[in-house]
Amino acid sequence: MINDIKNLRSEIENSLHSVKDAIELEQFRLKHLVQKGTLRALTDRLREVPKEEKPHVGKQLNELRQFVEAEYHKLREVYETAKEERNALDLTLPGRTLPKGSLHPIRQTIDRMTDIFIRMGFEVAEGPDIEDDYHNFEALNFAPDHPARDMQDTFFIEHKDKVLLRTHTSPVQVRLMKSMKPPIRAVMPGRVYRNESITARALAEFHQMEGLYINKNVSFAELKGTVIAFAQQMYGHDINYRFRASYFPFTEPSAEMDITCFLCKGKGCRVCKYSGWLEVVGCGMVHPNVLTECGIDPEEYSGYAFGFGIERVAMLLHGIDDARMLYENDVRMLRQL
């Protein structure tokens, strides 16, 4: 038994000298210091020792256990101290510069446009993205057989119930006219959805900002003054612009305003379809049928409405020739904007 104790001590000393890290120290503990370890096995054999030898053998076992536990705790303290030092905060290290985030170009454009219209006396209104046929088409004077009501042009959620993703933000105008009494002056930014082919100029999901002004004796001249003032604040006072007659079911008369193409400077390119001009806003006087449907007397009140494609405005501001680039999440491009 005494020889077994000496042999185990020799083995333990060699093991202690070979311990290199906390993992090996834990393996040492599991081998020698646990309930079923080598020390416990020798202690269990003490009952086999003759009665007259037990005091001497027991003393040797206690000395061995004390030695092993002392050496184990000493090494554990060394490795724990080393771990704390590795994890300590080094105040001499240079600071890490965190990347700065920014608003998306579309969000920047919406904010900039909104600020301009707020300074012009407009309020901001919002409405649901999921609409019904009445607010999206019927109340806006769309004929029952208008192409926009077809599934190839509009995303219907439940066609039989005529629930759809709004194709413009004009339903917000309907809700305003039904819930407020004139005068009404507001802009409506928001996301809209159309079942269109995605190209450099067109997206199936994009943003609009529409405006509405209802009051007594509102004229087309006020409409022209408003959209021209906005365009000059947005693009600069030296822009060239023109108005063209157009058609929208909810306005009469209707017009579109173009400005000189920002890429080709009027020479013609793919973005402007080689015309030298870019449409920036559709507008017109609110149709009397729309006013009547919304409970406003067209004999007493008149008004105008306009609508901007925000992606188009962002392209003009930043010199982008493909609307798809705004949604490709290319961080290299977004950082420039």
Q: CA angle 254-256-261, nearest 5°?
A: 175
Strands 163-165 and 130-132: antiparallel
Stretch 175-183: mean pLDDT, rounded?
93
Which of 30, 61, 87 represents a domain boundary (last residue)?
Answer: 87
Q: What is the model's pLDDT at position 264?
A: 75
76-124: per-residue pLDDT in tens?
887 777 766 666 666 787 878 887 778 888 999 999 999 999 999 999 9
Which of 87, 118, 140 represents a domain boundary (last residue)?
Answer: 87
Same domain, 308 and 179: yes
**Is 291 a domain residue?**
yes
Question: In degrees to the nearest 10, what's the CA dihedral of 283, 284, 285, 286?
Answer: -60
Q: CA angle 189-190-192, nearest 5°?
A: 135
**Is 308 a domain residue?**
yes
Decide which of 257 and 64 is more confident.
257
**Is 95 a domain residue?**
no
Most confident of 10-24, 141-155, 162-176: 162-176
pLDDT band at 149 (very low <50, low <70, confident <90, very high): low
Number of compact structural domains in the chain: 2
State which residues form the domain around 160. Answer: 105-336
Q: What is the model's pLDDT at position 92?
A: 80
Task: List phi, psi (to 5°) of 278.
Answer: -125, 130
Same domain, 133 and 215: yes
Same domain, 161 and 288: yes
Same domain, 319 and 238: yes
CB atoms within 10 A of CB 330: 11
Same domain, 115 and 178: yes
- Whether the pTM exceeds 0.85: the reply is no
Question: What percentage of the chain carries pLDDT values higher than 70?
Answer: 94
**Is 140 a domain residue?**
yes
Helix axes 310-318, 220-235, angle to 10 degrees: 40
Which of 18, 52, 87 represents a domain boundary (last residue)?
Answer: 87
Same domain, 24 and 157: no
Same domain, 237 and 125: yes
Same domain, 79 and 131: no
Strands 251-260 and 241-248: antiparallel
**Is 94 a domain residue?**
no
Same domain, 67 and 127: no
Stretch 259-264: mean pLDDT, rounded?
76
**Is 159 a domain residue?**
yes
278-307: per-residue pLDDT in tens?
888 999 999 999 999 999 999 999 999 999
**Is 98 a domain residue?**
no
Q: What is the model's pLDDT at position 65?
A: 80
**Is 96 a domain residue?**
no
Same domain, 309 and 162: yes
By the 8 A CB rule, do 246 and 192 touch?
Answer: no
20-43: per-residue pLDDT in tens?
787 887 887 788 777 778 877 777
CATH number at residue 159: 3.30.930.10
Same domain, 286 and 170: yes
CA-CA distance, 192 to 163, in Å (whole number)?
14
Same domain, 7 and 126: no
